[in-house]
Amino acid sequence: MKDLLLHRPAWYVLGPLLGLVVLGLYAAISERFGVVGGYSNVVERISGRLPKLGWKAWVLFGVLGGSLVYRLAAGRSNIGDGYGWLTRTFGGSGGHLIVAGLLVAAGVLIGFGAKTAGGCTSGNGLGGCSAGSTSSFAATATFMGTAIVCSFLIKAIT
């Protein structure tokens, strides 16, 4: 079982399963699946903009719980040491500060951008595209295209 979990399943297994999760939320409560809305719910609650946490925050809590269950069932993490290209490029204690700063900056762009676009990879990319929303298709094509171009730029300068 642990060996099975430590190797990623074929895309044609994982993709349809994730599609069923998106479909399942529509079938259960008639709502679009998305994760950035959960982060937003928490921010709005803490800053007093919401009187209580909504269902979207519980999607986020579920993601945290589900990944913890995976970690426990698999016996170990399947994520490599360090943090990808960032810790490989910026080493040492000074480098760690740069990595932390870049991750905060990336997070700001992710949070602000996803809220502006009305969803993230899951909300626009899976939920919105499953609904056939042209705005979600446009947003998905844009963030994928931008991320691909930026990744090649990062590779070129590092």
Contact 158, 89 (CB under 8 A): yes
Q: At a CB cut-off of 8 Å and minimum separation 6, what does 11 contact? A: none
Contact 33, 21 (CB under 8 A): yes
Which one of residues 75, 84, 91, 158 is an interface residue with other proteins (CB under 8 A)?
84
Write out the binding residues for other proteins, residues 123-142 only, by CB under 8 A: 124-127, 129-136, 138-140, 142
Which one of residues 64, 75, 91, 158 is an interface residue with other proteins (CB under 8 A)?
64
Nearer to other proteins, 91 or 105 (CB): 105
- CA end-to-end span of the chain, whole Å? 39
Residue from 18, 45, 48, 49 nearest 34 by CA: 18
- Residue 151 engages other proteins in binding (rule: CB under 8 A): yes
- How far apart are alpha carbons 13 and 53 in whole angstroms? 33
Q: How far is the CB of 129 from other proteins (least distance, A)?
A: 5
Write out the binding residues for other proteins, residues 8-37 only, by CB under 8 A: 8-9, 11-12, 14-33, 35-36
Number of amino acids touching other proteins (CB under 8 A): 111
- Residue 106 engages other proteins in binding (rule: CB under 8 A): yes
Write out the binding residues for other proteins, residues 42-61 only, by CB under 8 A: 42-44, 47, 49, 53, 55-56, 58-61
Q: How far is the CB of 126 from other proteins (least distance, A)?
A: 6
Q: How far is the CB of 60 from other proteins (least distance, A)?
A: 6
Q: How far is CA 136 from the centre of its chain?
A: 16
Which one of residues 75, 91, 107, 158 is an interface residue with other proteins (CB under 8 A)?
107
- How far apart are alpha carbons 158 and 155 in whole angstroms? 5
Residue from 37, 148, 24, 158 nearest 90 by CA: 158
